[in-house]
Every structure is written in C-alpha cells, then in structure tokens.
Structure 1
Amino acid sequence: MNAQKKYRLHHSIGYHLSIAARMQERRLDDWMRPMGLTRTTWCILLAVANEDLTRPSEIADFVGIDRTATSRALRSMEEAGLVSRRSASTDRRMTEVSLSQKALDLVAQGTPMAVENNSLITEQLNDSESAELYRLLKKSLEGKERGLKQL
C-alpha cells in the first residue's frame, strides 16, 4: 500500500464488538431454541413482560428492529400461543399486545439463561470495568440514528 495507513482488522473496536456480539447471540440462540424462541421473540417477550410495552411500534423501537419484522414475529408468536393482539380500547386503529401464561412461563424459564449469557461476556471484567464498558457502549450508540437504519 502506498503512504496510506493499513487498516488492521484485529486492532478494530468494531471487529471485537462483532465477535463478542456474535458469541453472545449464538449462545443465546442455542439456549432459547429448545424453548421455541429466537433472540427476536425473546426480546419481544421482555419488552412486553418487563417493560410493559404493548404497542407494536413501541416494541419495535425497544428491540431495535423495524415494524415489519416486529409484525412478522408477533404473528408467529400469536400462532404459537405466546401473545394475543387486540384493538386498543382507546383507539381502535391501534393494536395492543399481551402475553399468555405460556409466554410468562418462558420469560421466567429464560431469564436465568439470559443473565448467565450476559455474565459470560463480562466475567473477565471487575465491576468497575463492566460498568465502564456498559457506559462506553451506550455512549457510542447514542448517535446510532445518524446514518444507520434499524436492524
């Protein structure tokens, strides 16, 4: 290469973020699959169960996926008996999502797995380092809407 500086893949923060994210995603997928869940359906369950989000648009924003993907996931979750959708009592044009008991049971069953999965990514860090990593990642993602579409 000319005078241009070489891009060193293994010196890239993005590369290491990708590897760490992929490892965590694969492990979570493997653990959730026997429960009939994907990362997306797991995140939707958490949005409704733990964050009290009921509108598909709120759920999409919370999970970080587009509304079409959310609608598709909700449809399959409804077919699996995990959620029900109905018109909102205040505005019939709006849809509200609620969880079945089966879904609530899956949240209870999956939560320890998700907690363990999260701890595996930070087990080499002390509490201060873990908090700092979290703070820095949040800070770096604050401007994500600048030029990036939702996944």
Structure 2
Amino acid sequence: MNRTQRYRLHQSLGYHLSLVARMQERRLDDWLRPLGLTRITWCILLAVENEGLARPSAIADFVGIDRTATSRALRQMEEAGLITRCSASTDRRMTDVTLSDKGRELVKEGTPLAEENNRLIAEKLSGADKQQLEQLLLKMLKGEELALKKL
C-alpha cells in the first residue's frame, strides 16, 4: 500500500455495506421491539417455525450465532413464554425446542414487518440488480466464518 495515499472511509466498500446492513437492522429492530422481540429472537422463532429446526445447535447454525448466545436467547425466550424446551424423545441428553402459541402468534405478527423491511430495500433495485447483488454478496461470503458472536 502506498504510504502517501490516505484511506477514505466514506469511499470504501465495507463502509457502504455496513451502512446498508445497519439501516436494515435498525429498522427491523425498531419494528420488532413493540412485539417484545429482537433480531436474534425473531431469527430463532423463524428457525423453529418456518424451518422446522428443534435442536439448539441447528438453530445456532441457521441463525449464525454461537451456541452460548443461542442458549442465552432460548432461556430468555422460554422465560417470556415464546418457546418450550424438553428432552428429545430419541435421546434424553438432547433438547428439543418448540414454539408456544404465543411464539407462533409473534411469527404471524412479525412476518409482515420483516417483509416490508425487505421490500423497502429491494424496491430500490431492478430485478437484475437484485439478482446480481445477491450473487456478489454470496461470492464475498465464500470462505468466511459465518458464525457471528454478536448479531
């Protein structure tokens, strides 16, 4: 790198990616908060309800957070009455997660909010632009560690 050249934060790809991600995250957080949800708890609800995942390790992998963060979130969600945890029927050492009626209701209430949040971002791009952006983002993720310590 040329020592005389200055790093221009506002001209960097990473900065722009971060801005778009934070904008989307902040709006979703703001919309989920009245439901008593965070992005993490929202993602866990989706993992269980929409993806059929029951094991905490599978949920952690799906959400992209470590096992400790998943365990903490599941404990809070259980205390809030959103999920139940019980020993797996096939192996008592394993835990299965299921949604409560309250958890399922929150998925129904939160889905239009998440869809609208995605629509607000996507409407700025043409169909071809969206497809190209998705391909480029997947290319950028290739070979990267996807589990995030904080989401």
TM-score by length of 2: 0.93
Between the two proteins, the alignment pairs up a number of residues equal to 149
Shift of 1:12: 1.2
- Distance, in Å, in 2 between the alignment partners of 1:59 and 1:5 is 45
- Distance, in Å, in 1 between the alignment partners of 2:147 and 2:98 is 27
Flag the 1:149–1:42 CA change in 2: closer, same or farther, 3 A: closer
Which position in structure 2 is the counterpart of 1:10? 10
**Corresponding letter in the other structure for 2:60:** A
Q: Deviations over 1:132-151 (max 9, x none)?
A: 11121122112112xx7632
Which position in structure 2 is the counterpart of 1:64? 64
Which position in structure 2 is the counterpart of 1:22? 22
**Corresponding letter in the other structure for 1:17:** L
- Distance, in Å, in 1 between the alignment partners of 2:22 and 2:3 is 34
Q: Which has the higher contact order (CA 8 A, sep 6+)?
A: 2
- Distance, in Å, in 2 between the alignment partners of 1:89 and 1:26 is 39
1:45-60 alignment, distance < 5 Å: 45-60=45-60
Percentage identity across paired residues of the two chains: 68
SS state of the match for residue 77, structure 1? helix
Q: Which runs of 5+ in 2 are unaligned?
A: none
Shift of 1:125: 0.4
**Corresponding letter in the other structure for 1:95:** T
Shift of 1:9: 1.2
Which position in structure 2 is the counterpart of 1:96? 96
Which position in structure 2 is the counterpart of 1:150? 148
**Corresponding letter in the other structure for 2:86:** R
TM-score by length of 1: 0.93
Aligned partners of 2:61 and 2:147 also within 8 Å: no
**Which consecutive aligned stretches of 4+ in structure 1 deviate over 6 angstroms post-superposition?**
none
Q: Deviations over 1:110-142 (max 9, x none)?
A: 111101101112221011101111121122112
Q: Deviations over 1:37-63 (max 9, x none)?
A: 000000000011111111001111111
Q: Which runs of 5+ in 1 are unaligned?
A: none
Shift of 1:3: 4.2
Which position in structure 2 is the counterpart of 1:34? 34
